[in-house]
Amino acid sequence: MKNSSPPLNANAISALLAAARRIGREILVLEETGSTNDVASQLGRDGVAEGAVVFAEHQTAGRGRLGRKWESVSHKGLWFSLLLRPTFALADWSRLTTWAAVGIARGMEEVLPGCHALVKWPNDIYLDGKKAVGVLSESVVGPNGYAVVGIGVNVNHTREDFPEELLSRATSLWETGGPDTTPLDRHVVAAALLRQLDALYPALDCNFASIVAEAQSRSLLMGRRITVHGPRETYEALAEALEPDGSLRVRCDDGETRTVSGGEVSISGWE
């Protein structure tokens, strides 16, 4: 089966979005760049309005959380970054992580009816127990401060597209759809994600509790034993709940509860 998608086209994505929208108000598609997060950040410094989105067909220096490298297989996925200028308190900008995870999960279910998209705290999206999406939020504070939310979606990858070390842990939307399906139209996927993020954006400020509740109900971790790789120590605990600010509450073996707000967690016993 042919496994290449038509090149991404900004007008084709725009045409699938509502005229009055914030997220996706301006869309750029680059053939190649270092990292779309850096391009969106430059737009932020240039004073571009919130909601601009930068896609690239290929990133030569795509990055993930915690300084990791992010592979951006050419024309197979969606590698893009949103420029945001939240007006709520800076202390609450970490909400963007939870918002992005829930919006993306909703968008994925829209394009893959019947699938269930789960959130691995803080903001990876899993399909069938494997990672399909990663999110990297970065912010610049100051009078003209802004946030950049970078999103990497494995759309039309096949097994051969993943490096050996990720084979058991990564999947794509197409693979999740099953062997009888055809590659997805990346314009349709991009538009579904942007639409869902746009629809959820007002709740970031005025009803964040509803976003946290949905992130919790979609959580891959809740009720499981996890390993918390903290800055000072690594320990096992039970993932218990999300706190109102989106951080993760865990219960340690001695009964003590702790709040995890950064770093990495993994499910104990999983690779």
Name the residues that contact ligand BTN, by CB under 6 A. Answer: 35-37, 59, 62-65, 68, 70, 79-81, 124, 134-136, 150-152
Task: Name 114's Cβ contacts closer than 8 Å, sequence gap at least 6.
Answer: none
Dist CA 238 CA 218 (whole Å): 17
Smallest separation (angstroms) from ligand BTN to the CB of 27: 14
When CB distances to ligand BTN are compared, the closest residue is 134
Q: In terms of CB distance, is 5 or 244 closer to ligand BTN?
A: 5
Smallest separation (angstroms) from ligand BTN to the CB of 79: 4
Q: In terms of CB distance, is 166 or 238 closer to ligand BTN?
A: 166
Dist CA 36 CA 41 (whole Å): 8
Helix (H) or strand (E) holding 264: strand 264-267
96, exposed or middle or buried, with CB in 10 Å at 0-12, 13-18, 19+? buried
Smallest separation (angstroms) from ligand BTN to the CB of 151: 6
Q: In terms of CB distance, is 53 or 212 closer to ligand BTN?
A: 53
Q: In Å, how far from its chain's centre is CA 184?
A: 18
Smallest separation (angstroms) from ligand BTN to the CB of 124: 6
Question: Among candidates 154, 193, 159, 174, which has minimal Cα distance to 112?
Answer: 174
Smallest separation (angstroms) from ligand BTN to the CB of 40: 8
Q: In terms of CB distance, is 169 or 182 closer to ligand BTN?
A: 169
Dist CA 95 CA 108 (whole Å): 20
209, exposed or middle or buried, with CB in 10 Å at 0-12, 13-18, 19+? exposed
Q: In terms of CB distance, is 207 or 260 closer to ligand BTN?
A: 260
